Structure 1
Amino acid sequence: MRSLVPRSRGSRIYLLLLLGVAGGLALVGLGAWRVGVLAIGVSFLVGAVARVVTPQDHVGMLRVRGKAFDIFWMTTLGASLVVLSVVVPPGPPA
């Protein structure tokens, strides 16, 4: 029987990050957009750190392009989403 758990460490991390993004999107869909966007941003930042510390031969699906590209874009997107979730002022009460 074939296991559903990916073999490489990076692919397992990627799967966890994908679940974090899906959870954030679910929160956005349920109306808690600020918490959802924060969860997505933190997932990207965790992915950037994971890309830094995971050895090259264990990266798996965590690798998209080169190491510098992956780290730069995950950090940029993650930090932007975290800042967005904190900076946008709350709207008037509904």
Structure 2
Amino acid sequence: MVRAVVANAGYVAVVAVLATGMVLVGLEYWRRGLFVFGAGTGFAAVLRAFLPERRQGLLRVRSRWFDVTVLALAAVAILVVSWGISPLDT
């Protein structure tokens, strides 16, 4: 049981950050929520790139380079969208 928790600690941290971003979006803090979501996706890319295989847990889906590339590109795209959204009160 402890091994499973340790192996998936990075995944749990990423899910917590992504959930926080979704809550912010749900509370109508669009820019902050998308920024947190993009940062969480970037965090997943960093963890996938640097964690040893035994600690990656559910972050490991395909090959390391593919996962890191797709996560990093998704993070950049989400962050660009978050910076491009104008505040809703204008």
**Aligned match for 2:85, one of 77, 84, 88:** 88
The structure with more radius of gyration = 1
- Contact kept? 2:47, 2:56, Cα under 8 Å: no
Taking structure 1 as the reference length, the TM-score comes to 0.84
The reply to whether residue 71 of structure 1 matches residue 68 of structure 2 is: yes
Q: Which amino acid aligns with 1:61?
A: L
The alignment of Structure 1 onto Structure 2 pairs a total of residues equal to: 89
The reply to whether residue 43 of structure 1 matches residue 40 of structure 2 is: yes
Displacement of 1:22: 0.6
The reply to whether residue 12 of structure 1 matches residue 9 of structure 2 is: yes
Once residues 54 and 65 of structure 1 are traced to their aligned partners in structure 2, the CA distance between those partners, rounded to angstroms, is 15
Instruction: Spell out, residue by residue over 1:27-81, the C-alpha distance to the aligned partner (whole angstroms, 9 max, x if none).
Output: 0000001100000000010111111111122221110111111101110111111
Taking structure 2 as the reference length, the TM-score comes to 0.88
Once residues 72 and 46 of structure 2 are traced to their aligned partners in structure 1, the CA distance between those partners, rounded to angstroms, is 8
Greater fraction of residues in helix? 2
Q: Which runs of 4+ in 1 moved over 2 A?
A: 88-93
* CA RMSD after TM alignment: 1.6
